[in-house]
Every structure is written in structure tokens, then in C-alpha cells.
Amino acid sequence: MQNQIIDLLLTGLIDTLLMVGSSAILAFLIGLPLAILLVISSEHGIYPSKGINQSLGWIVNVTRSVPFLILMVALIPLTRWIVGTSYGVWAAAVPLTLAATPFFARIAEVSLREVDQGLIEAAQAMGCSRRQIIWHVLLPEALPGIVAGFTVTLVTMINSSAIAGAIGAGGLGDIAYRYGYQRFDMQIMFAVIAVLVVLVMFVQYTGDAISSQLDKRKA
């Protein structure tokens, strides 16, 4: 019985890691450029554009305002078109990515906005191009905050993956729902909770450690 529980939890953990990992990579690759565009196109940015800034801000705000469960159901047709099914680990990756991307974009935007304006002005005075300012000033200075923000995003995605699992996506959420809720097996329920707590603590600790290492103010 004990071995069966361990096997069950390992399978659920692997599914959760695949679900969150694939979505997190896509959210980072889409969300960070989105954050950069929001910052540089703002009124005091290095490439001010009211139209671009307002359009991107509107898209981000609308996407963030939809609760994950509703978003997941609403995206079933799109999920079927992209993945070929509306159930399973890879099907959940679509709504997870779309939910996490604007969330991370806003957090990264805050970190980028906190970069000292004096550094940007100094780079401009030295004749640096906009691309050079982004790569050599904005991103390096904001990197600790971006990493910390991505850590928060990962933790949120782990929580969302449990919700997704409860409606057919697999992973630890699916195990908790099928065994803990439908069969009232509290042993498995508490085991799933313990695994989720350890996973979240590991992600948070790792993210905090990396962010601290990158923070020049603590060097």
C-alpha cells in the first residue's frame, strides 16, 4: 500500500513539474519581452509610444482579470486546436501559460521601472543605442527583481496546476481530487499537501537564493 502511494505521488509530481515547467518557460519567454515593451513605450521610456503602451496594457489587464478556472474552460476550443485534446498535462499548459504570462509581465515591469533613471540617462549621454540600454542597463539592473518575480509566478502556477488537475489535467491536483475528495482517503490528501508544500518551499528558497546572488546591492 505504501509503495502504491509513493508511485502515485511520484507520477503526480512528474506530471505537475511537466505542466508547470513547460508553461513557465513559455511565460518567461513571452512575458519578459512584453514587460520590456511596456516600460520602454511608457511616457518617460526610451521609446515612448502611447498607442503601443495602452494596447499592451489593456491586453495584459484583461487577461489578468479572468480567474484561472474560468480561463481554462473558456480556452477549451483553443486548447483542442493547439494540443489536440482538452484533457491531460499538455492541455493544461495552454491556459497556464496564458494566465502566467501577463502576471509575470506586470511583476517584471515593476522591476524594470525601478531601475535608476540616472543610469539610463548616463547611457544615453554616452551615445548608447536603445538596444544597448535594454541589454546592458535595464536588464542587468532589474535582474534580481525579475528572478524574484519569476519565483512568485512559479509558486502561483503550482497552485493553479492543482486547480487544473481537479478538472482533468492530471498531476497532484488530480490525485487530491480523486482520492482525497471523491474517496475520502485523507492519507493521500495529506501526502499531496505535504508534497506541494515541499515543492513550493524548494522553489521559493531557490529563487530567493539566486535573486540574492544577483543583487549587486548585497555584494
Q: In the chain, what are the domains? A: 2-218 (1.10.3720.10)
Q: What is the pTM of this model?
A: 0.88
Which amino acid appears at position 1 of this protein?
Answer: M
Better-predicted residue by pLDDT, 46 or 196: 196
Provide the pLDDT for residue 103. Answer: 93
Quote the percentage of the chain above a pLDDT of 90. 33
Helix residue spans in the chain (DSSP H): 2-40, 50-65, 68-74, 76-83, 89-113, 117-125, 130-133, 139-164, 171-175, 186-214
Query: Cα–Cα distance between 94 and 74 in angstroms, integer?
Result: 11
Query: Cα–Cα distance between 41 and 49 in angstroms, integer?
Result: 5
The mean pLDDT value for 14-29 works out to: 92
Neighbours of 97 (CB within 10 A): 19
Among the residue ranges 2-11, 56-65, 129-138, 193-202, the one predicted with the least confidence is 2-11
